[in-house]
Chain A
């Protein structure tokens, strides 16, 4: 069990640029989640994949955000035309299928918009 891996750990970019983050879940985990955490707050749900299917998207996920999990393994989260308000920690989590399986989180990608 190598844990959930996220890359990069930190990303600094100028407003208006596009950014892409990668998440590698625990290998046997079918479920994959993306959350966003701002300073002093708890993580907020963004989107959920079961295998390669994206089954739910939060209203927080505007049209500038897109997520994929093409082969049901790693996932990417892209933000186009970044805005100041996108500055946050982006967390990825994975879990086994099962009603009460806990989610295991990666270290997150901290995005800073200049």
Chain B
């Protein structure tokens, strides 16, 4: 089992551009959460997807949007990129049953120039 897979691993974009990050959850998991980790800080919750719907959202602007597909994989889209969006974006998968833990991916390092 490959665990949680994220792509790409690194990405450089220009201010104002749009970016799409991808996540494949661990086998058997049906819930995907996205986190933003700025340098020197802990991960911050962006949103969570379950049954192809956004179930919870953190304090992020509407420029951040997502999608979950029938195979449980997920995408994170960020529009109108700002320099401050530069961060490590982590995907975590879990099973909706709260007794299950989270498995994190290695992340996508996004640099906005």
Asked if chains A and B come from one complex, the reply is no
